Amino acid sequence: MEMFVDILVAVLLIAGCLMSLIAGIGLLTFPDMLTRMHAATKPQVLGFLLIFTGLAIHLRSWAVVPVLFLAWGMQLLTAPVSAHMIGRSGYRTKHAAKDSLYADELKQIVDKTSSAPPTGTFDATSGATGKSED
């Protein structure tokens, strides 16, 4: 039984490390921002889950499991959200290859907000806005 657990831990750790390696290779080799962003988030979160699962089985302590679960949960929450924000800012600053998109669902929203009239500027020294008062 001890040998089976050791083999399971080794398989989980190696698989998790391979997922993290795949994420790193994807960051270096993919051609545009959106595919690099995908490579940075998806396999990395799964790799962390596999590594943390292998670590929890190896340590065999229930005191470690909530800490590992919290660390993985924070990674699960922050990686996709940060990638989403990077993707939106990259789209707006023209760093995304829009010709390679299958469906451009963000185009309508960006066009609507960019065609809105400016709201005016605020002069911090005098406290006045750039709007003309009628």
The per-residue pLDDT for range 2-49, each reduced to its tens digit, is 999 999 999 999 999 999 999 899 889 988 888 888 888 888 889 999
Element (H, E) at 133: none
What are 47-70's pLDDT values in tens digits?
999 999 999 999 988 888 999 999
> Looking at beta carbons, which pairs linking 29-37 to residues 24 or more positions away fall under 8 Å?
31/97, 32/96, 32/97, 32/100, 33/86, 33/87, 33/90, 33/95, 33/96, 33/97, 34/87, 34/90, 34/96, 34/97, 34/100, 34/101, 37/83, 37/86, 37/87, 37/90
Is the pLDDT confidence value at 118 over 50? yes
Residue ranges per structural domain of the chain: 1-96
